[in-house]
Structure 1
Amino acid sequence: MVSKSVYISIKDHLVSGEEFKLLFDPELEMLITSPQPLEETLHSYYESENYISHTDDKKGVISFLYQTVKEFALKRKVKLVTKLNNGNGKLLDIGAGTGDFLVVAKNRGWEVSGVEVSAKARSLAAEKNLDLKQDIQEVLSQKFDVITLWHVLEHIPNYKEMLQTYHSLLHENGILIIAVPNFKSYDANYYKKHWAAYDVPRHLWHFSRVSIPKILKDTFKLVTMKPMLFDSYYVSLLSEKYKTGNNFSIRAFWVGLVSNLKAMRTKEYSSLIYCFKKHI
């Protein structure tokens, strides 16, 4: 077994203030948060009013921009999913949050299901007439045309085992879509220990552009990769806040722009969407 070296040390800026090390795995070209919280204590690191994906709050500049851009991004996500599937079908969203993606998909003719561990987020989704499940076990009797994970895989302790489960839940030639941050992006290298997308210890794993295809090469075929262009701006805004304490920064927009421009050549965008087709 190849030893894993310390890549960088990162502070939990959101909840605990604790420091964690990120270990580099040369085989998969990814980083591993160390130490990782025990599964029974992991939930405590999400207990913050500022954890944005579990709320619909628009208070504050960063939250307002996030929620505003999200409405546009959701439509693009549904359009991508529909194109890859050649039409509508059965859709399962893992880590569905407050259900906004599923609402847009449902309104465009998809039969939707979702899994979300946060009771608070499930409650907000219920107000949108969505019955999200707490555990993947509750949907194992079904089959789906598409399964999506929008910035979720990095949170899952047993992610390799769960990827096998998703494979079994998909129809023949089903589509798996995974979006995750990219620690080799320009904005990650610029902000280093203040890069918000490290988000330890909620993010247990940190993927590069080659990690996800390597992990899934035996069970899925990579169809395409797409950049999430807005992520570099949002992540840079939050990173600037962690670095300087400022809630708004013009510099953050500049860093986000430079990150996207450089990625046009390097393909190292702040976040990437990986679109796979199930191997028969």
Structure 2
Amino acid sequence: MYHQLTYLYLQYTLENKKIERLTKCPLCKSGLFLNHTEITDFAVSKESFILCKCTKCQLVFTNPRPTETAIQPYYDFPEYYSHNNEGKSLTSVIYGQVRNLAISKKYKLVESLNTEKSILDIGCGTGDFLKYVQDKGWTVKGLEPNKKARTQASEKLGVKVLKSLEKLDEKQKFGVITLFHVLEHIHELKKGLKSIITSLLSNGYIIIAVPNHESKDAEKYGKYWAGWDVPRHLYHFNDSSIEYLAEKYDLEIIDKKPMVFDSYYVSLLSEKYQNPEASVISNYSKSVIAGFKSNRAASKSGNYSSNLYILRKK
């Protein structure tokens, strides 16, 4: 009876264009993919979503998925931190502190690249990173779909922050384009990547940071792993699928770096999803241990909770 109701609901949403079913892999366009697993949206809707795995490029992707116009409500919750600087919970306070540390590390990374000091941050949130970079003398541009965050970022920077990739000026080129946990959210992957590459200077760099479903914390938490974050995360990458992406779009991966803070934060959310009745102290202590173990394992395997890739045009 349950599966029948699920099927009927899916058919209803498909007919009303709230859900779209992909018939080809969004990265390599192969029609050969298999059901990989089923994951619950613990953060918002409590709905379940199927993940498929492409047999050619190894990309895991959410399918079926909400359409681009129907997905916004899945982002509208108080603790979606990249859109919110006002969280009062302990988790949001810790996230804010880690974010501040990460901002300086991100700047050191982009500053080390030998290119023009102009940057486009796609998914810039409330603009904290761009403000830091702007204060260092860089020319900055941001893109943020969320209206509230976009307004805050525009006011903070004194520069108009764009709503979508379609609003980019093809004549404006950037030395660095950053996508920190953004690539997995772009509905039109091919169109989006082409637009991004078009906006890059010939000697410029693209920085992509994505969750890694082959990490030790993903293995530990399984269906409760917060890095799945369905349906907001449309794609779930590993090294193989990022390498395929680079080759397909004539990009070269020049470096790969770990994002060591992510294992602790993702483990904390995963603990809350797995043990919603557990005490705060229990969840925090377990997440610290899980994050440490994940990073220790990754120091040998390279499979950190999130990996950062630096790419340039061939």
Q: Which band: TM-score by shorter chain?
A: over 0.9
Q: CA deviation at 1:2?
A: 5.4
| Residue matched to 1:100 | 128
**Higher relative CO (CA 8 A, sep ≥ 6), structure 1 or 2?**
1
Any gaps of 5 or more consecutive residues in structure 2? 1-29
TM-score by length of 2: 0.85
1:171 aligned residue: 201
* CA distance in 1 between partners of 2:167 and 2:59 (Å): 31
**3-state DSSP of counterpart to 2:104:** helix
Correspondence for 2:72: 43
How far did 1:35 drift? 1.2
RMSD: 1.4
Q: SS in structure 1 opposite 2:36?
A: strand
TM superposition shift of 1:139: 2.5
Is 1:189 the counterpart of 2:219 in the alignment?
yes
Partner of 1:89: 117
Give the conservation status (yes or no) of the 8 Å contact 1:85–1:175: no
Match of 2:65, SS?
A: coil
Larger radius of gyration: 2
Deviates more, 1:64-73 or 1:214-223: 214-223
Q: Tell me if the contact between 1:85 and 1:146 (Cα under 8 Å) persists in the aligned partners.
A: no
Deviates more, 1:245-254 or 1:175-184: 245-254
**Separation of aligned partners in 1, 2:211 and 2:77:** 21
Identity fraction in percent = 41
Name the counterpart of 1:273.
Answer: 308
Say if 2:292 is the partner of 1:257: yes
Letter in 1 for 2:301: T
The answer for unaligned runs of 5 or more in structure 1 is none
Question: 1:34 aligns to what?
Answer: 63
Work out whether residues 258 and 307 of structure 2, in 8 Å CA contact, stay in contact via their aligned partners in 1: yes
Instruction: Tell me how far 1:42 sits from its aligned partner.
Output: 1.0
The match for 2:243 is 213
Q: CA deviation at 1:173?
A: 1.8
- Compute the displacement of 1:175 (Å): 0.4
How far apart in 2 are the matches of 1:241 and 1:162?
Answer: 33
Give the TM-score, by structure 1 length: 0.95
The 5 Å alignment of 1:196-235 reads 196-218=226-248, 219-235=250-266
The 5 A counterparts of 1:237-248 are 237-245=268-276, 246=278, 247=280, 248=283
The number of residues matched between the two structures is: 278
| Structure 2 SS opposite 1:40 | coil
Q: Deviations over 1:204-243 (max 9, x none)?
A: 0000122112112142111100000000000000000011
CA distance in 2, matches of 1:237, 1:244: 10
Asked whether the equivalents of residues 165 and 192 of structure 2 are also in contact (C-alpha less than 8 Å), the reply is: no
Within a 5 Å distance, the mapping from 1:58-69 to structure 2 comes to 58-69=87-98
Look up the match of 1:12.
41
Distance in 2, Cα, partners of 1:232 & 1:160: 29
| Whole-Å separation in 2 of the counterparts to 1:135 and 1:39 | 12
Report the counterpart of residue 128 of structure 1 in structure 2. 156
Name the amino acid aligned to 2:222. K
Letter in 2 for 1:122: R
Q: Runs in 1 of length 4+ with deviation above 6 angstroms?
A: none
- Give the distance between the partners of 2:37 and 2:166, measured in 1 at CA: 36
For the residues of structure 2 that align with 1:198 and 1:92, how far apart are their CA atoms? 26
Whole-angstrom CA distance in 1 between matches of 2:117 and 2:128: 18
Instruction: Tell which deviates more after alignment, 17-26 or 121-130.
Output: 121-130
Q: Which residue of 1 aligns with 2:32?
A: 3
